[in-house]
A and B are shown apart, each in its own frame.
Chain A
Amino acid sequence: EPEVTQTPSHQVTQMGQEVILRCVPISNHLYFYWYRQILGQKVEFLVSFYNNEISEKSEIFDDQFSVERPDGSNFTLKIRSTKLEDSAMYFCASSTTDIGGTEAFFGQGTRLTVV
């Protein structure tokens, strides 16, 4: 069964360093998303991406964050200068059409620890 794949599963980084989280969405999906979940809290929306541009972003997604689809298969989230409060589980998701019309499929997540 097709699935969303995320790498790495766990990343530890020092405060102020740049990190790139990688995702391979399901191959025929056109809409891509990043969410995060701080330990013990709700899953929160970060950004949605379609046709090589951001469709919607939350207040969390400030200038420190960026997304890119560098080729036909990968979708990345970059955090330029990590802060302690960026420590969270980051989930990538994808869907065939916009999320109002279909279900979203999530990856297993990348646990980011900022020290």
Chain B
Amino acid sequence: KQEVTQIPAALSVPEGENLVLNCSFTDSAIYNLQWFRQDPGKGLTSLLLIQSSQREQTSGRLNASLDKSSGRSTLYIAASQPGDSATYLCAVVGAGSYQLTFGKGTKLSVIP
């Protein structure tokens, strides 16, 4: 059974700092990996999708990498802003599956 782990569970950084969020998964047989943002009491906003054949994806200040063989992904946020404060979720689609398996998330606080 696929398990997704995100470390750290919470992170607090000063505004302007670059930061990295980590995600690991136990079964490397995946179709893709998706990073989401969740604001308190709100839905999930898709940030980046990396297909299993890709190594990284970029969108603005966000860069996500994927190392499928080692079961790891990172989300890099450049020049963090207070508006980036949210919980960031990592999720994978396992091969032969129609479902996303989520990690518990990293709660990010960017201090002005």
Residues of A within 8 A of B (CB): 6, 31, 33, 35, 41-45, 48, 50, 55-56, 58, 89, 91, 93, 98-109, 111
Contact = CB atoms under 8 A, between A and B. Distances in A.
Interface residues of B, number: 25
B10 interface: no
Interface of B: 31-32, 34, 36, 41-46, 49, 51, 89, 91, 93, 95, 97-105
Nearest to A48: B98
Given A42-B104, A56-B98, A107-B43, A100 B91 contact: no
B49 A99 contact: no
Contacts of A106: 36, 43-46
Contact of A99 (B44, B98, B103, B104): B98
Contact of A43 (B42, B95, B102): B102
A82 B41 CA distance: 22
B46 to A, nearest CB: 5
Give the secondary structure class of A's interface: strand
Give the secondary structure class of B's interface: strand
23 contacts: A33-B99, A42-B103, A43-B89, A45-B99, A48-B99, A50-B98, A55-B98, A56-B97, A56-B99, A58-B99, A91-B43, A93-B44, A98-B98, A99-B98, A99-B99, A100-B32, A100-B95, A100-B97, A103-B34, A104-B34, A106-B46, A107-B43, A109-B43
B3 to A, nearest CB: 10
Contacts of B42: 108-109
Given A106-B43, A109-B42, A109-B43, A100 B104 contact: no
- Residue in A91, A93, A98, A103 whose Cβ sees the most chain B Cβ within 10 Å: A103
B31 A43 contact: no
A105 B46 contact: yes
Nearest to A9: B41
